[in-house]
Amino acid sequence: MERLWQGIKHGAKGLVNLPFRFPTRGVRVMNLAKRAALHPCVAHRGFSGQAPENTMAAFRLALSQSYVSWMELDVHLSRDEVPVVIHDGTLKRTTNGQGRVKELTAKELGVLDAGSWFHPSFSAEGVPTLDEVIAFASGSCRLNIELKGDYVDRDLLARRAVEVIRARQIEQEVVITSFQPDILEAVRRHSQSVRTGLIIDDRPADLIKKIKAIGADYLSIGFRSLNERLLQQTAESSIDVMAWTVNSVSDLRRLSSRPEPFQICTNYPDRWYAVMKEENGSHE
């Protein structure tokens, strides 16, 4: 079983650029490997259901599961212009710090307690840099790097993130996503090779046109906004799709039964795996 999942994990690295030609019927009788390839697992902020989000503990736990082929994470800039991995532009919710992320250096952010809010056993977790996460994950999974637009020069944020990615030579192993089209346009100014994707929790009539207009080819969408028509349109336009954030077993079952290919982003990769085995009739 481990060899099977290692094959899935390494094979999934190319999924984002491959055409999918799965049958539209009989999805429930697919073997486990094909089901996993049809709906790859993206660990949201790492394995954030069992460890504090966007910490190395969450990323380590996610990559200890061989079926996790992608991780999603959030990036802001520190005061010294280092891309750091944290969701909020402010520190209060997930650390023992105060104020805004951009008011502290990367070193100062790294020694904050970014884990006790989740459980005291994670008190040693700080705010990691993007470079730290890339160094850890490179060669094991791909990264969906969301750039946040709070309180910062957005062009500078895009440039610094691209510089880190380029220095690690992983342009083909990542996608940069954002709710903010101007951030994605800035990424394209600084790199022609890094893929970009729009994040949205809506389904406007001109969504495909908007994605193409900013030079993106990836859509990160709230799973409740996903439907058959949109999946048909994205397939016709060669736009890859990730559905976020799917945490309940019932929603995982419903989405994983769809015949169209798209990634499933979840705080609970173990639930994704359990549903995949369940649909496959496997209880190994």
Closest CA to 147 of 172, 107, 174, 119: 174
Could you tell me which of 260, 265, 280, 258 has the C-alpha nearest to residue 4?
A: 280
Instruction: Check: CB of residue 115 under 8 Å from CB of residue 124.
Output: yes
User: What is the token pair recorded at 220?
Assistant: 């990160």
Residues 89 and 157 sit within 8 Å (Cβ to Cβ): no
CA-to-CA distance for 111 and 79, rounded, in angstroms?
Answer: 15
Give the bridge partners for 195, in sequence order. Answer: 175
> For residue 85, what are the β-bridge partners?
75
Query: Tokens in use for 30?
Result: 């697919």
Q: Which residue has the tokens 């690295």?
A: 13
Residue type, position 198, single letter: L
Task: Please give the positions annotated as active site.
Answer: 44, 87
Least Cα distance to 12 among 129, 146, 144 occurs for: 144
